[in-house]
């Protein structure tokens, strides 16, 4: 018996719940063979005991087929995340998702959904398992931006399978409703919907779930932060002062909700005229760095106003995927890198913890005021050109 033969045999062991095998996934670590005894270690990403049990069985069966008389498989699992739901501890409705990124802004129309889409795809392109949850219940734009406008999800029992586009699992209220329909819901129903989006969608074991928030600092943000430990908060802003004022509110909200701040995305930061290549600072440029510093944070990236970004959003062909060589796509990739590094740092330092913001008041009564109610302004992107013609 040789290592090669063992690996060949282990290719018949599929990772439970997936179509790929444990060798292709790169889970098989050390193989030692003496006579017909095989010892190996397998490092898996699931903490579920059933997965370990199943693998032990399948490995033994496959190795016995090639003549192993004794099989010692050491299956190494990550520690199960804590799932606790009383007011003294943290709460995590989706413990099999490793990290949650909340993309927020004080103001509407500044590019949260655009940022969420491009960052999620950029992380997926870098090999992460990524999901994208559209938590903008009233104004869901993610299906269009991800090219999923005509798709409806599959229902499994009383759960819903996420849709998939550009290597990212996606769910949105827009994918569950008839196109063009509006929702008129009370705040408590929004809170329920967000909880269901976490609990009743069959998300895989994701490395990161990116959550595109509605504008402002309201029920949706609070519910989300109380339901899962958010690993990183990203504030999207445009560079003009009125938007920066609102970003301070968004950053302050992260602090109040105990969410580690990954930084600020300065969107619509300058416009390079496609005809004459002069750069005009329509909303200003580079102004948000100082605001980020006020919160001990950084400017993650500056993204210019670029017609291709808007077209990518409208046609469901995000720039980061469809124009990977463009300057903007490279900036999104760099931003994704920084975000991943930030998430790693938060986890090295013990991870996010939402125990301090659990409700201590009866259901239906707000536990902590985060200031302004959600705003529904439409910022407008002003992509009208630099006037060179
Ligand atoms: N850098 C950019 N250059 C050009 N257009 C952009 C840019 N960023 C966003 N847009 C466009 O601006 C519009 C608003 O962006 P987006 O929907 O991402 O904002 P939002 O903050 O999610 O809005 P809302 O608050 O309504 O959810 C979209 O049409 C989008 O394609
Ligand atoms: Mg949006």
Ligand closest in space to the Cα of 236: 1
Ligand 1 mean position, distance from CA 341 (Å):
26
In a shared domain, residues 44 and 135: no
Range of the domain at 136: 99-357
In a shared domain, residues 165 and 236: yes
309 has a pLDDT exceeding 80: yes
Q: pLDDT value at position 179? A: 73
Q: Whose CA is nearest to atom 15 of ligand 1?
A: 111
Mean predicted confidence (pLDDT) in 312-340: 95
Q: Is 120 in the pocket of ligand 1 (CB under 6 A)?
A: no
Q: Which pLDDT band holds residue 79 (cuts at 50, 70, 90)?
A: low
- Residues 153-199 have pLDDT tens digits of 999 888 999 999 999 999 999 998 877 777 777 777 888 899 999 99
Mean predicted confidence (pLDDT) in 337-352: 93
Q: pLDDT value at position 389? A: 43
**Nearest-atom index, ligand 1, CA of 107:** 25
Domain end: 45, 76, 107, which one? 76
Q: Which pLDDT band holds residue 331 (cuts at 50, 70, 90)?
A: very high
In a shared domain, residues 166 and 69: no
Q: pLDDT value at position 48? A: 73
Mean predicted confidence (pLDDT) in 5-27: 86
In a shared domain, residues 130 and 165: yes
Would 367 be classed as within a structural domain? no
Ligand 2 mean position, distance from CA 372 (Å):
18
- Residues 310-322 have pLDDT tens digits of 999 999 999 999 9
Q: Whose CA is nearest to atom 28 of ligand 1?
A: 310
Q: Whose CA is nearest to atom 18 of ligand 1?
A: 111
In a shared domain, residues 259 and 130: yes
Would 237 be classed as within a structural domain? yes
Residue 326 belongs to domain with CATH number: 3.40.50.300
- Residues 217-275 have pLDDT tens digits of 888 999 999 999 999 999 999 998 888 989 999 999 999 999 999 999 999 999 877 78
Q: What is the number of structural domains in the chain? A: 2
Ligand 1 mean position, distance from CA 313 (Å):
8
Mutate to test the pocket of ligand 1, among 105, 106, 111 (most ligand atoms within 8 A of CB): 111
Q: Is 354 in the pocket of ligand 1 (CB under 6 A)?
A: no
Q: pLDDT value at position 371? A: 39
Q: Whose CA is nearest to atom 19 of ligand 1?
A: 111
In a shared domain, residues 120 and 19: no
Q: Is 174 in the pocket of ligand 1 (CB under 6 A)?
A: no
Q: pLDDT value at position 190? A: 83
What string of H, E and C letters represents the secondary structure of the chain?
CCHHHHHHHHCCCECCCCCCECCCCCCEEEEEEECCEEEEEEECCCCCHHHHHHHHHHHHHHHHHCCCCEEEEEEECCCCCCCCCCCCCCCCCCCCCCEEEEEECCCCCCCHHHHHHHHHHHHHHCCCCEEEEECCCCCCCHHHHCCCCCCCCCEECCEECCEEECCEEEEEHHHCCCCCCCCCCCHHHHHHHHHHHHHCECCCCCCEEEEECCCCCCHHHHHHHHHCCCCEEEEEECCCHHHHHHHHHHHHHHHHCCCCEEEEEEEEEEEECCCCCCEECCCCCCCHHHHHHHCCCCEEEEEEECHHHHHHHHHCCCHHHHCCCCHHHHHHHHHHHHHHHHHHHHHHCCCCCCHHHCCCCCCCCCCCCCCCCCCCCCCCCCCCCCCCC
User: How far is Cα 284 from Cα 244, in angstroms, rounded to an integer?
Assistant: 11
380 has a pLDDT exceeding 50: no
Ligand 2 mean position, distance from CA 219 (Å):
16
Ligand 2 mean position, distance from CA 69 (Å):
59
Q: What is the pTM of this model?
A: 0.74
């Amino acid at each position: 018996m040789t290592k090669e033969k063992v690996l060949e045999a282990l290719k018949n062991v599929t990772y439970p719940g997936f179509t790929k095998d444990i060798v292709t996934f790169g889970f098989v670590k050390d193989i030692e063979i003496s006579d017909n005894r095989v010892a190996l270690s397998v490092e898996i990403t699931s903490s579920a005991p059933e997965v370990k049990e199943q693998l032990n069985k399948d490995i033994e069966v496959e190795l016995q087929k090639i003549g192993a008389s004794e099989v010692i498989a050491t299956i190494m699992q990550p520690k199960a995340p804590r799932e606790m739901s009383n007011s003294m501890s943290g709460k995590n409705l989706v413990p099999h998702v490793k990290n949650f990124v909340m993309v927020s802004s004080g103001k509407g129309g500044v590019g949260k959904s655009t940022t969420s889409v491009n960052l999620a795809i950029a992380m997926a392109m870098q090999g992460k398992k990524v999901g994208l949850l559209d938590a903008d219940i009233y104004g869901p734009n993610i299906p269009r931006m991800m090219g999923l406008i005509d798709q409806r999800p599959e229902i499994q029992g009383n759960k819903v399978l996420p849709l998939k586009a550009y290597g990212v699992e996606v769910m949105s209220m827009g994918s569950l409703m008839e196109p063009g329909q509006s929702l008129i819901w009370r705040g408590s129903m929004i809170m329920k919907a967000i909880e269901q989006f976490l609990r009743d969608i069959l998300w895989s074991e994701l490395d990161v779930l990116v959550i595109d928030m509605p504008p402002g600092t309201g029920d949706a943000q609070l519910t989300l932060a109380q339901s899962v430990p958010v690993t990183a908060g990203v504030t999207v802003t445009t560079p003009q002062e009125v938007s920066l004022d609102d970003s301070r509110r968004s950053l302050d909200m992260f602090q109040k909700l105990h969410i580690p701040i990954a930084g600020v995305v300065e969107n619509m930061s300058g416009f390079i005229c496609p005809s004459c290549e002069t750069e005009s600072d329509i909303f200003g440029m580079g102004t948000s760095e100082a605001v980020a510093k006020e919160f001990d944070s950084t400017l993650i990236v500056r993204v210019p106003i670029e017609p291709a970004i808007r077209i990518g959003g409208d046609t469901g062909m995000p720039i980061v995927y469809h124009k990977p060589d463009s300057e903007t796509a490279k900036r999104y990739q760099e931003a994704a890198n920084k975000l991943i590094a930030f998430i790693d740092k938060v986890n090295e330092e013990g991870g996010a913890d939402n125990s301090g913001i659990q409700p201590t008041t009866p259901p239906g009564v707000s536990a902590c005021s985060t200031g302004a109610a959600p705003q529904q302004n439409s910022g407008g992107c002003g992509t009208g050109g630099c006037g060179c013609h």
